[in-house]
């Protein structure tokens, strides 16, 4: 077989993709939770995060959270800060890995995701900043940075709970349409749609960076559990395609159908495009009844 030599930056070997161990437990689910308002989605997500963090604290085991930025998780972060300040939860033993960071923005730029995380969560809680990881994209070799990011997730023992938002085009992280379902952390070019959607955070649409370093889809799928949050009608089509469409790289979020432990927490507007909405609502009612009677 001919030996193909690659430039040093692409010769880095990454671990092969594998599903998280929970796949072998038989506890496989894609759970759809529909709540009336965005605030209820926030409370649901905060309960899930805090329960995990507190359970691990009781067991004296560290916990690794995967975090997202954007508008959707802002309520969750506000709620985590509030619960921490009321003394209800400590993040001292938590490691975090963020999904993505723009290429071309210094970390102290107000539009960078480093800045977003510091301002909207990290500086208000007792987390050790050394244990927080947002992909490094400023003054670094991007391939090496992507490799180090993956390795740091490995070293931390993998992500226990990954929080996701979803783009209007169904991207997760910045895995845009066409992203390989086996992809790992790497640089991606942002679509015009994503840049237009995110222009609200910049002085002009031209200032939105054209590229980002993002966790890959395989990286996301290796998390032990995933919680995707979506609110508002603008996400309804993406949610329908994610849940009820075929698994395809044209709908990056559809890869979540392959994962053994995914919860989608949706407000009724984001769930409004689901053809099988009644079925999902009934499933949740039955789940609640089963939980009560057990
Ligand atoms: C952000 C991220 C993106 C966003 C998505 C939705 O870290 O990974 O996938 O989750 O673009 O953004 P919002 O919540 O602003 O609609």
213: domain CATH number? 3.40.50.1360
Catalytic residue among 114, 171, 197, 267: 171
**pLDDT value at position 11?**
42
Top-confidence residue, 1 or 69 = 69
3-state secondary structure the chain: CCCCCCCHHHCCCCCCCCCCHHHHHCCCEEEEEEECCHHHHHHHHHHHHHHHHHHHHHHCCCEEEEECCCCCCHHHHHHHHHHHHCCCCCCCCEEEEECEEECCCCCCCCCCHHHHHHHHCHHHCCCCHHHEECCCCCCCCHHHHHHHHHHHHHHCCCCCEEEECCCCCCCECCECCCCCCCCCCEEEECCHHHHHHHHHHCCCHHHCCCEEEECCHHHHHCCCEEEEEECCHHHHHHHHHHHHCCCECCEHHHHHHHCCEEEEEEEHHHHCCCCCHHHHHHHHHHHHHHHHHC
Read off the pLDDT of each residue in 143-163 and give the average, rounded to a whole number.
98
Ligand 1 atom with least separation from CA of 100: 7
Q: Kindly state whether residue 261 falls inside one of the protein's structural domains.
A: yes
Structure confidence at residue 290 as a pLDDT band (50, 70, 90): confident
Tell me if residue 154 is catalytic: no
20 lies in some domain = no
Q: Is the pLDDT of residue 225 over 60?
A: yes
User: Does residue 202 fall inside a structural domain?
Assistant: yes
User: Which domain, by its residues, includes 171?
Assistant: 25-293
Atom of ligand 1 nearest to the CA of 68: 7
Mean pLDDT of 88-94: 97
> Does 71 contact ligand 1 (Cβ within 6 A)?
yes
Task: Answer yes or no: 119 catalytic.
Answer: no
Q: What is the mean pLDDT of residues 80-92?
A: 97
Active site residue 171: yes
User: In this structure, is residue 133 part of a structural domain?
Assistant: yes
Q: Output the pLDDT for position 20.
A: 59
Higher pLDDT: 208 or 17? It is 208
Distance 54 CA to ligand 1 centre (A): 26
Residue of 143, 150, 169, 197 marked active site: 169
Share of the chain above pLDDT 70, in %: 90
Closest ligand 1 atom to Cα of 232: 16
Q: What is the mean pLDDT of residues 114-125?
A: 98
In a domain, 15, yes or no: no
Across 235-251, average pLDDT: 98
**Cβ of 173 less than 6 Å from ligand 1:** yes
10: in domain: no
Q: What is the pLDDT of residue 273?
A: 98
**Ligand 1 site, residue 235, Cβ cutoff 6 A:** no
Question: Does residue 1 surpass a pLDDT of 50?
Answer: no
Closest protein CA for atom 9 of ligand 1 = 173
Mean pLDDT of 109-129: 98
Which band of pLDDT confidence, cut at 50, 70 and 90, is reported for residue 120? very high
Annotated catalytic, 100?
A: yes
Q: For residue 26, what pLDDT is reported? A: 52
Whether residue 7 lies inside any domain: the answer is no
Q: Is the CB of 171 under 6 A from ligand 1?
A: yes
Residue 21 pLDDT more than 80? no
Q: Tell me if 231 is assigned to some domain.
A: yes
Candidate list 79, 101, 176, 222, residue with the active-site label: 176
Name the more confident of 223 and 24.
223
For the chain, the average pLDDT equals 92
Residue of minimum CA distance from atom 11 in ligand 1:
167
Question: 287 pLDDT band (50/70/90 cuts)?
Answer: confident
Give me the number of domains the chain comprises: 1
């Amino acid at each position: 077989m001919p030996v193909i030599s690659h430039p040093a930056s692409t010769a880095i070997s990454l671990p092969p993709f594998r599903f998280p161990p929970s796949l072998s437990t038989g506890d496989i689910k894609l759970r759809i939770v529909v709540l009336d308002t965005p605030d209820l989605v926030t409370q649901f997500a905060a309960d899930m995060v805090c329960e995990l963090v507190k359970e691990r604290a009781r067991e004296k085991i560290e916990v690794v959270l995967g975090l997202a930025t954007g508008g959707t998780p802002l309520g969750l972060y506000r709620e985590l800060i509030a619960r921490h300040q009321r003394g209800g939860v400590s993040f001292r033993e938590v490691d975090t890995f963020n999904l993505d960071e723009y290429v071309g923005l210094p970390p102290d730029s107000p539009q960078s995701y480093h800045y977003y995380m510091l301002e909207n969560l990290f500086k208000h809680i007792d987390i050790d900043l050394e244990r927080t990881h947002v992909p490094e994209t400023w003054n670094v070799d991007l391939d090496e940075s992507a490799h180090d990011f993956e390795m740091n997730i490995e070293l931390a023992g993998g992500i226990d709970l990954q929080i996701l938002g979803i783009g209007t085009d169904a991207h997760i992280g910045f895995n845009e349409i066409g992203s390989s379902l086996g992809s790992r952390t790497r640089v991606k070019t942002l679509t015009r749609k994503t840049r237009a959607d995110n222009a609200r955070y910049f002085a002009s649409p031209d200032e939105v960076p054209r590229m980002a370093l993002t966790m890959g889809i395989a990286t996301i799928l290796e998390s032990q559990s995933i919680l995707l949050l979506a609110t508002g009608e603008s996400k309804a089509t993406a949610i329908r395609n994610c849940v009820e469409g075929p698994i395809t790289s044209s709908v990056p979020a559809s890869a979540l159908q392959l994962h053994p432990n995914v919860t989608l927490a949706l407000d009724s507007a984001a769930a409004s495009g689901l053809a099988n909405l009644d079925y999902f609502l009934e499933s949740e009612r039955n789940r609640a009844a089963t939980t009560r009677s057990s």
